[in-house]
Amino acid sequence: MTIKLTRRQALVGSACVAGAGLLPISKGLAAGWPERPITVAMSAPAGGATDRGIRPIAAKLKPLLRAPAISLQDMSGAGGVQAVEYVMGQPADGYSWVGMNDTIEAFPSLGRYDYSYRDFDFWMAAGTACGFTVRAESKVKTFEEFIDWVGSNPGKLSCSTTPTGTLWSNVAVYVKEKAGLDYKIANYKGGGPSVRAALAGETDFGCMGVTPMANFIRAGKLRCLCATTTEDWKTAGVMIPTISRYIKDPLMVKTLPWTNIHGVALHKDCPDDVKAKIDDAFAKVMADKSMEKVWDDNAFFPFKAGRDTANDLMKQRTELQAYVIEVILGIQKKTREELGLGKIEETI
């Protein structure tokens, strides 16, 4: 398979040579791998949840793989498109990884690129669950009270969240639809700005990742009313109820947890023995007790999902995102039929 080179790939140096340099590496040619540094093309900037989730994993994988270096490079341009296109423009030899987040699930439907979960193998460590939050001084103490509050003020209240089509924004829209609520959605540039908007009173409440609000929860400035987790979740010093206590939608209940992802991905055509080495090293990192502190400090929801499990999860999550983007939001650029995706609502 020959990978077509885009202009962006050329700009980031994704192809130094034509033809053979862009051909996948044959299976079984990984003897001695890794003999040179590994580059992780980060789809989100340094300092954010994705970076904080992947950086300690890379540090622990380095000695286990005996890699000269594993270097995280910010390629978050165009919302992470640059990172994916960079890796797809490199030889499939195991030296170019993507530091993934949830954009790989949504961007095919939004027409941002032509790649999908099918083009990668994934190793998924943890994620940032989404939560509905209010300021600590709010009279709203529970999500049940939140539903009554919003229901009593149709169209008057506003919710800060992330850009349209991203997971946390999709949660805000999905819950609005399934709970029959009427509130305004204010899309901010990311999780941090969404949190700050709720804190400053620019919006009445927020729907964003628990990670960027964790320190404000610990400091008693924000109250998280529920999270998109499979069960009640103790994090940031509090117990946050699962959203499934309040939203009984069968599709949501079946597909929880709804989180972004902190993990790495390799081109599907990388040699099998390279991926086997990563399988073994990743399993050891996930069993490392010190990772529990990383997850707790950052309010990460742990998956500890090796390649097979992570690949299955990514298929389900992509079908879920495509459903929300096409059926709930109606903003798809490519339909599920065009993308060859299953209709997840038919599996309930």
Alpha-carbon gap, residue 1 to 15, rounded angstroms: 16
Note the pLDDT of residue 12. Answer: 39
Note the pLDDT of residue 79. Answer: 84
The stretch 54-69 carries a mean pLDDT of 97
Q: pLDDT at residue 191 above 60?
A: yes
pLDDT exceeding 90 applies to what percent of the chain?
84
pLDDT exceeding 70 applies to what percent of the chain?
91
Note the pLDDT of residue 23. Answer: 43
Alpha-carbon gap, residue 112 to 79, rounded angstroms: 9
Alpha-carbon gap, residue 211 to 340, rounded angstroms: 33
Separate counts of helices (H) and strands (E) for the chain: 13, 13
Give a three-class secondary structure readout of 216-233: HHHCCCEEEEEECCCCCE
Q: pLDDT at residue 226 above 50?
A: yes
Q: pLDDT at residue 16 above 50?
A: no
Query: pTM, whole model, 2 decimals?
Result: 0.85
Note the pLDDT of residue 190. Answer: 87
The sheet with strand 184-187 has its strands ordered as 184-187, 158-161, 205-209, 130-135, 222-227
Q: What's the burial of 167, exposed, middle or buried (CB within 10 Å: 0-12/13-18/19+)?
A: buried
Note the pLDDT of residue 8. Answer: 40
Identify the weakest region by mean pLDDT among 28-32, 114-118, 149-153, 214-218.
Answer: 28-32
Identify the sign of the CA torsion 268, 71, 95, 4. Answer: positive
- Give the residue with greater pLDDT, 33 vs 1: 33
Note the pLDDT of residue 9. Answer: 39
Q: pLDDT at residue 331 above 90?
A: yes
Q: pLDDT at residue 1 above 60?
A: no
- Residue 149: pLDDT band with limits 50, 70, 90: very high
Q: What is the pLDDT of residues 302-321, one digit of tens each?
A: 999 999 999 999 999 999 99
Note the pLDDT of residue 29. Answer: 54
Q: What is the pLDDT of residues 93-120, one digit of tens each?
A: 999 999 998 889 999 999 999 999 999 9
Instruction: Please give the domain boundaries of the chain with CATH numbers for all domains.
Output: 7-128+260-347 (3.40.190.150), 130-255 (3.40.190.10)
Alpha-carbon gap, residue 152 to 148, rounded angstroms: 6
b/e 121-143 (16+ beta carbons within 10 angstroms → b)? bbbbbbbbbbbbbbbeebebeeb
Alpha-carbon gap, residue 220 to 271, rounded angstroms: 49
- 3-class SS at 2? coil
Q: What's the burial of 106, exposed, middle or buried (CB within 10 Å: 0-12/13-18/19+)?
A: buried
Through-space distance between the first and last CA atoms of the chain, rounded to whole angstroms: 36
The stretch 122-137 carries a mean pLDDT of 96
Q: What is the pLDDT of residues 252-302, one digit of tens each?
A: 999 999 998 889 999 999 999 999 999 999 999 999 999 999 999 999 999
- Residue 19: pLDDT band with limits 50, 70, 90: very low
Note the pLDDT of residue 348. Answer: 77
Mean pLDDT (the chain) is 90
- Residue 48: pLDDT band with limits 50, 70, 90: confident
Note the pLDDT of residue 21. Answer: 40
- Residue 205: pLDDT band with limits 50, 70, 90: very high
Q: Is the backbone peptide bond immediately before 257 cis, with ω within 30 degrees of 0? A: yes
Q: pLDDT at residue 189 above 50?
A: yes
Q: pLDDT at residue 238 above 70?
A: yes
Contacts of 293 (CB under 8 A, 6+ apart): none
